[in-house]
Amino acid sequence: MPRWINRPEGSNWGDFGEHDQIGRMNLLTPERRRAAVAEVRDGIAFTLSLPLDIPTIPLAPSRRPPRLSAAADEEGDVYNRQDAGGEELTCDDKVTLHTQHSTQWDSLAHRGRAFDADGDGVAEFVYYNGFRAGEHVQGPEGCDHATRATALGIETLAMAGVQGRAVLVNLEAAFGNASRAVSLADLRHAMDAQGVEVRPGDFLLLYTGFDKLVLEREARGDGAWIASECCALDGTDEALLQWIVDSGIVAICSDNVAIEALHLIMSPQPPPIRLPIHDLCLFRQGIFLGELWYLKDLAAWLLERGRHAFLLTAPPLRLPGSVGSPLTPIATV
């Protein structure tokens, strides 16, 4: 039995194969990776991750900073443990890690919805390419609330070789860091002003200045609500959604919290699709989303030189069954 016979309007389900789990990442071909390497001119590398324990006060109630502790065996904690000779030491640790707390990839199992994929007249809960909640994305089960995405887990992205040409659009330079829902007209305005050329297979990075707000909040030590500050994409702009489809980009990554403006889910009467960019990208098109990246230094360097393209290397953890992953992306310019 095929998993689906109906696909959502505006989706590409099946275009990359019946069992595809990496969506638009399929557009990242060897030729495009070679072209990406040609963008490296100065050989300077930028680390695009926040420290993963930032924010110390979470931006989402279900997400917490990592908790490190010592690994243990029958003799107790393996931490500063002296070997038998007494001259050598060993440390092993373990971590409770909320995979989407800080700099992260969302996997394609991060957002799904009710849709009548099997055509029986009743909607069922499905993810990209018709993989089902409860069957392919399982959990929580058992006393430890174990979960597992047996399809669309983040390991599928890890195996895709996440390295290619990326372009950065500096929305902070174009519009400042006040709250703004960025339309296609806004995005085009910023891209034209900065000479940004987007090609199929590209990673689209949007710099908003939100990383600076996160770090300033850390320095102040408060939990001020900042999630709606700075630029974020306007998911209600149908022209913007169509541009994302037509552009051939494989991912959208930003220093902000959700890529898209959150006013929809915070309105008293949210529309049926509360996060339209997440719906388009993760559910319908298989376009990966990267959030809370640290882009400040790269954005400043590119702006100063009138550049926008570079080589991005950004694999997630190869953590089978996870629906998201922290990462330490590298931009090489």
Chain residues in the site for ligand UVW (CB under 6 A): 60, 100, 106, 257-258, 275, 291
Name all contacts of 196-200 with Cβ < 8 Å and 24+ positions apart: 196/167, 196/168, 196/169, 196/308, 197/167, 197/308, 197/309, 198/167, 198/247, 198/248, 198/249, 199/32, 199/35, 199/165, 199/248, 200/27, 200/32, 200/247, 200/248, 200/249
Q: Which two tokens stand for residue 251?
A: 């991912």
Looking at beta carbons only, is 209 or 235 nearer to ligand UVW? 235
Looking at beta carbons only, is 4 or 294 nearer to ligand UVW? 294
Looking at beta carbons only, is 117 or 232 nearer to ligand UVW? 232
Coil/strand/helix, residue 168: strand
**Residue 263: CB minimum distance to ligand UVW, A:** 12
Radius of gyration of the chain (CA): 21
**Residue 171: CB minimum distance to ligand UVW, A:** 18
**Residue 69: CB minimum distance to ligand UVW, A:** 26
Looking at beta carbons only, is 20 or 291 nearer to ligand UVW? 291
8 A C-beta contact, residue 141 and residue 148: no
Segments of 239-308 assigned E as strands: 251-254, 288-291
8 A C-beta contact, residue 102 and residue 326: yes
**Residue 160: CB minimum distance to ligand UVW, A:** 19
DSSP summary character for residue 218: H
* Pairing state between β 251-254 and 288-291: parallel
**Residue 305: CB minimum distance to ligand UVW, A:** 31
**Residue 216: CB minimum distance to ligand UVW, A:** 20
Looking at beta carbons only, is 152 or 258 nearer to ligand UVW? 258
Looking at beta carbons only, is 155 or 279 nearer to ligand UVW? 279
Q: Where are the alpha helices (DSSP H) in 165-237?
A: 171-175, 184-194, 210-220
CB closest to ligand UVW, residue no: 258
